[in-house]
Amino acid sequence: MSAHDSILQLKQRIGESIVGQQTVIDSLLVALLADGHILMEGLPGLAKTRTIKTLAKHLESDFRRIQFTPDLLPADVTGSEVYYDDGGKGAFQFRPGPIFGNLILADEINRAPAKAQAALLEAMEERQVTVSGTTHLLPPLFLVLATQNPIEQEGTYPLPEAQTDRFLMKVVLGYGTDEEEGQILRLVRGEVAAAGKGETPPKLPLQAVLDARAEVNQLYSSDAVGDYIVSLVAATRRPGDFSDDLKTWIQIGASPRGTLALDRCSRAYAWLQGRDHVVPDDVRAVVTDCLRHRLILTYEAAADGITPDQVVAEVVKKVAVP
The one-character DSSP state at 146 is: E
Q: What is the pLDDT of residue 195?
A: 64
What is the CATH number assigned to the segment(s) 3-191?
Answer: 3.40.50.300
pTM: 0.90
Residues 6+ apart with CB under 8 A from 157: 110, 111, 112, 113, 114, 117
The total number of residues written for the chain in this structure: 322
Span 219-318 CATH architecture: Orthogonal Bundle (1.10)
Q: What is the pLDDT of residue 223?
A: 95
Q: What is the pLDDT of residue 32?
A: 94
**Range list for CATH 1.10.8.80 in the chain:** 219-318
Using CB atoms within 10 A of its CB, is residue 75 exposed (0-12), middle (13-18) or buried (19+)? middle
Q: What is the pLDDT of residue 152?
A: 72
pLDDT tens by residue, the chain, 322 residues: 788 999 999 999 888 888 878 888 999 999 999 999 999 998 887 878 888 888 988 999 899 999 998 899 999 999 888 888 777 677 888 889 999 999 999 999 988 888 888 888 888 988 999 888 888 899 989 999 999 888 777 767 888 888 899 999 999 988 878 887 888 888 877 766 666 666 677 889 999 999 999 999 999 999 999 999 999 999 999 999 998 999 999 999 999 999 999 999 999 999 999 999 999 999 999 999 999 999 999 999 999 999 999 999 999 999 998 8
Q: What is the pLDDT of residue 196?
A: 60
How far is C-alpha 277 from the geometric centre of its chain's CA atoms?
A: 23
Determine how many CB atoms are found less than 10 A away from the CB of residue 244: 9
- Bridge partners, 39 (sequence order): 146, 170
Residue pair 294/262 in contact by the 8 Å Cβ criterion: no
Q: How far apart, in whole angstroms, are the C-alpha atoms of residue 284 and residue 281? A: 5
Residues 6+ apart with CB under 8 A from 6: 204, 205, 208, 212
**Range list for CATH 3.40.50.300 in the chain:** 3-191
According to DSSP, the β-strands at 250-252 and 143-148 are unpaired
Q: What is the pLDDT of residue 192?
A: 66
Residue pair 217/267 in contact by the 8 Å Cβ criterion: yes
H helices of 195-279, in order, are 206-217, 223-237, 244-249, 256-272
H helices of 127-169, in order, are 161-164
Q: What are the distances in angstroms from CA 107 to CA 171, 266, 274?
A: 15, 27, 33
